[in-house]
Amino acid sequence: MPHYDSLDPAVYNDLELQKVHTGGDNHEFLFIGRQKFLKEDLYSAFGGTLNPGLAPPSSHKFANPAPLGLSAFALTTFVLSMCNARAMGITIPNVVVGLAAFYGGLVQLIAGIWEIALENTFGGTALSSFGGFWMSFSTLYIPFFGIADAYEEHPEQFASAVGFFLLGWAIFTAGMTVCTMKSTVAFFSLFFLLTITFLILSIGEFTQNTSVTRAGGVIGVIVAFIAWYDAFAGIATRENSYITVKPLPLPKPHRTLL
C-alpha cells in the first residue's frame, strides 16, 4: 500500500475519487468517490435491475429492462414447472413451447441485450443466457429441428443427453449464484434455487424417475414466484403503487465494508 504523504497530489486525488465508504448517523449513506447515495436505494437495485453490486444507476437514459426479462423467465418457468410437477395430472409439457420460444426466449434475450447497453454485465449475461436456454429448450419439442427424432431408436440416449443439457445449465447457474452472494435474500435465492432446480431435473432425466422430476417442478414453481417478486421490485415505486419491496441484504463478514 502506498503512503499518501509520499504521493504526487494528482495521484492522491485519483485515490480519493476511488474511495468507497459509508456515512450518516446510522451509516445509511454510501460514498463512491465524490458521489453520495442512499444505501437503501442501491440495495433495491439487486432485485429490480439484476445488478449484483452496489452500483449507481447507469448514465444511459433507458428504461429498466430487468423486470421484463424476469417476468418472461418467471412465466415460462412457472408453466413448465407446473407440468413437471404433474399438476392437474398433466404429463405432456408441449404447451410451454410457444412461451419458451417467444416470451421466455426471444423477449428475455432482447431484455438481456438491453442490459448490456445499460452497462450491466451480470444482468446482460444472465438474461441473454436464459433466453438462449428457453429457445434451445423449445427446439427439443419442435419436429422441424429433428432433435427428438434423431434418438427415436435410442430413447435412453435422448434422456441422458437432455440430462447433460440440464446439468450444464446447473453448472452455469451455480457460477452466477456465486456472483450474488453479496446481494439480497431474494436475489440470491432466485439463482440458488434455480441451480437446485436444474440439478434435480437433470437427475430426473438420468434416472428417469418421475418423483425426482416432480420435485424439480415444485422447486421450479418457487423459483418462478421469486422471479416475479424480483420483477415487481423493479416496477413498483411509491409513485405507482401502495405496495413496494423493501430489500433484505444478505449478512456480510464483520470486516467487509460492503
Average pLDDT over residues 94-123: 95
Q: Distance (Å, rounded) from C-alpha 100 to C-alpha 158?
A: 20
Q: pLDDT of 54-65, one tens digit each?
A: 555 566 678 889
Q: pLDDT of 182-197, one tens digit each?
A: 888 999 999 999 999 9
Average pLDDT over residues 220-239: 93
Q: Distance (Å, rounded) from C-alpha 20 to C-alpha 119?
A: 20
pTM: 0.80
Average pLDDT over residues 59-72: 87
For 66-235, CATH number? 1.25.40
> What is the full DSSP assignment across 33-82?
TTEEEEHHHHHTHHHHH---S--PPPSS-----HHHHHHHHHHHHHHHHH
149 φψ region: left (φ > 0), alpha (ψ -120 to 50), beta (else): alpha
Q: Please report, for the chain, the start and end positions of each structural domain, with discontinuous segments joined by +.
A: 4-43, 66-235
Alpha helices in 92-209 (DSSP H): 96-98, 108-117, 121-139, 147-150, 155-178, 185-207
Using a pLDDT cut of 70, give the percent of the chain over it: 75
Q: Which three cell numbers stand for residue 186?
A: 431474494
131 vs 50, more confident: 131
